[in-house]
Amino acid sequence: MIPAPYLLYIGNETDPLSVKTSRGLAYWRPQACLGQYRSSASAISLGLPDLTFAEAVQRGARTLVLGVANAGGVMSPTLVSDAVAALDAGLNLASGLHARLRDQPEIRAAAAAKHRELFDVREPPQRLPIGTGYRRPGRRLLTVGTDCSVGKMYTTLAIERRMRELGTAADFRATGQTGILIAGSGVPVDAVVADFIAGSVEQLAPARRDGGWDLIEGQGSLFHPSFAGVSLGLLHGAQPDVIVLCHEPGREHMRGLPGRKLPPLAVCLQANLEAARLTSPEVVCAGVALNTASLSEADARRVCSEVSQSLGMPCQDPVRDGVSRIVDRVLSFDIEGVA
């Protein structure tokens, strides 16, 4: 386990999506987050106390979480320098980037000198199986998206919370670095060799006979040229009985790909259902989760209503409205689940 409490690293980031890991921890595990480290006042703020590394240690912080994300998951010279300073101050390090902490000579040397621990969250398990697609007992839900970073993790966690409120057994299954940090376990599927993605998800959500639900965090999008392979492997390995479609209204283009527009919701939904039917022929969609953070309250309600009427299913913003109607629809389906 990664030692808590945490100091969340923001650095110089000004793009809200670039600090999604720090933001996710601050939202879902606020009790474990003592503060944030920003290199400048113009950087994104999560509303936590701004602390230096030394101040964080004095207040009891044990680990600096490098909660930033970028294309390729690389470590800049500035980030490496800050990481070394944090180690020197007495903090452990946790990172969800593709670049490994232990592969950075300066970081490795500083950790050894100060007897600090390095946690690379994006380290897949060893000896993963290949997927089989054979039907296995259990009820499973997978979130899918029109793009990456549209709210799949938030939606999955919100569904878990709502199901548990209703007394339904439900477990969040993390597949990305932020989700793993929140849940304490999971499989970073975008770091898994392609042949083993489906098998890793079958292992993450194995046969289940208690009548409960495995709620599997989606990644990427079938329509994103950079990440569609991971999304497809997740669909096949999850073998979902139910999917929930996630989307951010108003996004002008695929993340990181200017000029490439997001697909229409109906087109994206149909493509995901068709792909999922390879291993789950009876898969259905329970609803649409919208990230309406950029919209006014009135516009958010209007868009949710329009989407609901257009697709004939519940549409909610998990942060603003919760997911009660979506969960009610999930639980209304006659899914055997137990074999």
Q: Which pLDDT value is given to residue 87?
A: 97
Distance between CA 200 and CA 198 in Å, rounded?
Answer: 5
Distance between CA 37 and CA 7 in Å, rounded?
Answer: 7
Distance between CA 320 and CA 338 in Å, rounded?
Answer: 34
Ordered structural domains, the chain, with CATH: 6-120 (3.40.50.720), 139-332 (3.40.50.300)
Distance between CA 219 and CA 162 in Å, rounded?
Answer: 21
Nearest to 331 by CA among 240, 174, 212, 207: 212
φ, ψ of residue 186 to 5 degrees: the values are 145, -175
Residue 256 near residue 71 (C-beta atoms within 8 A): yes
**Contacting residues for 29 by C-beta, under 8 A, at least 6 apart:** 181, 182
Q: Which pLDDT value is given to residue 20?
A: 87
Q: Which pLDDT value is given to residue 72?
A: 63
Q: Which pLDDT value is given to residue 71?
A: 65
Q: Read off the DSSP letter of residue 323.
A: S
Nearest to 200 by CA among 169, 171, 236, 226: 236
Q: Which pLDDT value is given to residue 75?
A: 86
Q: Read off the DSSP letter of residue 292.
A: -
Beta pairing class for 170-173 and 213-216: parallel
Q: Which pLDDT value is given to residue 161?
A: 97
Helix (H, G, I), strand (E, B) or coil at 254: coil
pLDDT tens per residue across all 339 residues of the chain: 789 999 999 999 988 888 989 999 999 999 999 999 999 999 999 999 999 999 999 999 999 999 887 766 778 899 999 999 999 999 999 998 889 999 999 999 999 999 999 999 988 888 999 999 999 999 999 999 999 999 999 999 999 999 999 999 999 999 998 999 999 889 999 999 999 999 999 999 999 999 999 999 999 999 999 999 999 999 999 999 999 999 999 999 999 899 999 999 999 999 999 999 999 999 999 999 999 999 999 999 999 999 999 999 999 999 999 999 999 999 999 887 654
Q: What is the length of the chain?
A: 339
What is the tens place of the pLDDT at every residue in 31-83? 999 999 999 999 999 999 999 999 999 999 999 999 887 766 778 899 999 99
DSSP string, 28-74: H-GGGEEEEEESSTTS---SSPB--HHHHHHTT--EEEE----TT--
Residue 154 near residue 318 (C-beta atoms within 8 A): yes
Q: Where are the beta strands (DSSP E) in the chain?
A: 6-11, 33-38, 63-66, 92-95, 118-120, 139-145, 170-173, 213-216, 242-247, 284-290, 315-316
Residue 67 near residue 25 (C-beta atoms within 8 A): yes
How many CB atoms lie under 10 A from the CB of residue 100? Answer: 17
Q: Which pLDDT value is given to residue 251?
A: 94
Beta pairing class for 63-66 and 6-11: parallel
Bridge partner list, 145: 246
- Give the tokens for residue 83: 């990481």
How many CB atoms lie under 10 A from the CB of residue 58? Answer: 12
Distance between CA 233 and CA 140 in Å, rounded?
Answer: 15
Distance between CA 271 and CA 323 in Å, rounded?
Answer: 23
CA distances (Å), origin 60, targets 24, 63, 66, 79: 21, 10, 18, 22
Q: How far is CA 196 from the centre of its chain?
A: 19
Residue 180 near residue 189 (C-beta atoms within 8 A): no
What is the tens place of the pLDDT at every residue in 307-324? 999 999 999 999 999 999
